[in-house]
A and B are shown apart, each in its own frame.
Chain A
Amino acid sequence: MKDPVDVLIIGAGASGAAVAWSLAETKMHILCLEQGGWMNPAEYPSTGRDWEAKFYGEWSSSPNIRGRPEDYPINDDSSPIKVVNYNAVGGSTVMYTAHWPRLHPSDFKVKTLDGVADDWPIEYDALTPFFEENDRIMGTSGLSGDPLSPLTHPPMPQQPMGLSGAIIGKAMNELGWHWWPSDTTVATTDYEGRARCINLGHCTPACAQGAKSSTDITYWPQAVRAGVELRTHCRVREITTDENGMATGVVYYDKDGVEQFQPAHVVIIACNGVGTPRLLLNSKSDRFPDGLANSSGLVGKNLMFHPYAQIYGYVKEPTDSNRAPPTCLWSKEWYDTDLSRGFVRGYGVQFVRGAGPVFEAVVSEQKGILPWGADHHRVFRKLNGHRLGFSAICEDLPEEHNQVTLDPVLKDSHGIPAPKINYTISENSRKMMDHALARGREILETAGATDICVNSPIPWGGWHLLGTARMGTDPKRSVVNEWGRTHDVKNLFIVDGSIFVTSGGVNPTSTIQALALYIADQMKQRLANLFD
């Protein structure tokens, strides 16, 4: 029998890393179990001539396509949006675009302001110091002072505007619409041991330069130096409980596939909005027949993805193509509710610089704008290096029928039941997406773009996995309380995106990590009576 640890964290991604780092100062024995391993930047796609092809196979954003031993399958046949993620030390921060907006203060008061969904049990201001701390550790770049975004203080200057940014900026100015250089976690100067961005371009499937922040190169080295134990290639099957309804530890499979039991005094789940409900639902017992911490019946429900409405076209001028980080500018012009648009809530926009030649050829052929035969070469030269894109991140409101359950058949390589996704895009979201596409078309046409194409939703766009173990003060209407502790199990905490009450209209990682730091801080303040 292993010795018990004080704190056991499941998952070494965005939130698991942050909470581990924060709790390390307590000098408790902290152990993190991660199903993936450490990454090797020398093997990242941009180090090879076949860098684009890898994105269709071993570096696919879909775990179902990627199929690495570290991945678990997800049945997303009943969803128009497919789940994408990455399983390793660093989690999906290894494979993300590094776009770094925060939720807005108004996002925490959706019910009060707009009469839909629910208010969060905490306010933006409670997270402010943790946003700032997180930005410092992750290392953000940007330009402070955006009038339509929460005030941030990025320690590094914004990314270069580049060719694409200038075209977009001029078009937005002509239309009189808001735009601003994005906050990102791409280092624009040498920063805390990370080298500055050299525009490898292929940022999403991991950054060989280390300029893109991921928690394997930010939080984890510091947390490990501070004494946190990180055990890799360990997949947790279930959380165990005792006769008092307290968590006692976890059953997991080690790197050799051998079943192990790890006792713990406190368990923290950081497995994302799909992995967390999967684990809770797999942790059934006589005391918890519907899954752990599920007396509300809400574990797995209210899944929010952020449907992406994407539109792109081709301008005569050259764009940045693949020779820059993919995102550079955002717009909050349509972020807040304006009922005259025909929907409630709104969306953030991220502008996209371009694409590499293989991606351009493959996608354009599929869209039917790149012909076969003799005219292929002429058309390809018109398209390649001239793409400009607009993606709207539409706020997905919580709906209980959008949910994660356990697939009755599908299992991972350890025989653990896999998650199944049931999800539909709401009428409100559809209207929002259509509105966004119309605005995107105006922008692209103002920029002189032709051959305009649409992806609505982006099918493999399920990056943001939110809402499936929501936060709240009412145990009947939420899974965790206002400081991340499950209502049902007093030594079990959740710190990932599953605790989001609403989704906002921005990429969520910054807010996920600020929440994780906030919960860790709450735990530290309450150590003497953590289980009361």
Chain B
Amino acid sequence: MSANNQLTRAQRDDLRTIAAMIVPASDEYNVPGADDPAIQADILATLGRDTRLVTVALDHLARLAGQPLAELDAARRDAVAQEFRKDGGAAAATLVRVVLQCYYRDDRVLRSLGLELRAPFPKGYVLPDGDWSLLDPVKARSGTLRRAP
């Protein structure tokens, strides 16, 4: 069963709202927020083993808010989010991690960061060999290995 079906409509709404509070959209950096439909779809499709803890986190969030998070005024919403972040424990940390791991693999976000839209393998990356003359002072200094008797 996909996580899409495991989270209730209200939970999905709160997830979207809190995700936007974690990472809002930015015109300056030309990136979507974490509430973007494609990113939300990625989160729901890949929740997998994190579903239980994310559900716990969303239940906790719902208790703190007392109503849909999106319907709170801005000040109250911020207060709830701060409390959630401060006291949410492993469940809240999992929710935040799930949001961030999907956000930071989105094509638009990676493009904005100047990163390539691909897996590391098979192309890999090129690493400068560097200036190994930097080692000369180490070679020039005296130093001996402590010997065993």
Contacts and interface: CB of A to CB of B under 8 A. Distances in A.
Chains A and B belong together in one complex:
yes
B123 to A, nearest CB: 7
Nearest to A365: B96
A57 interface: yes
Interface string B38-74: 0000000010111000000000000000000000000
Interface string A91-134: 00000000000001110110011000000000110000000000
Interface string A27-65: 000000000000000001011111111001110000000
A104 B144 CA distance: 12
Contacts of B137: 173, 176
Contact of B124 (A112, A209, A358): A209
Secondary structure class of chain A's binding surface, majority of residues: loop
B130 A53 contact: no
Most buried by A among B85, B110, B135: B135
A322 interface: yes
A173 B131 CA distance: 13
A153 B29 CA distance: 49
B105 A50 contact: yes
A190 to B, nearest CB: 14
Contacts of B105: 49-50, 52-53, 358
A161 B134 contact: yes
A46 B148 contact: no
Interface residues of A, number: 70
Nearest to B109: A357
B127 interface: yes
Contacts of B28: 377
Contacts, number: 175
A123 B103 CA distance: 53
B126 A199 contact: yes
Contact of A323 (B97, B121, B127): B127
Nearest to B82: A372
A169 interface: yes
B134 A166 contact: yes
Nearest to A65: B49
B100 A147 contact: no
Given A176-B137, A323-B120, A372-B81, 15 more contacts: A52-B101, A56-B50, A57-B50, A105-B148, A106-B146, A113-B148, A147-B143, A149-B145, A181-B135, A198-B123, A199-B126, A200-B120, A320-B127, A361-B101, A372-B22
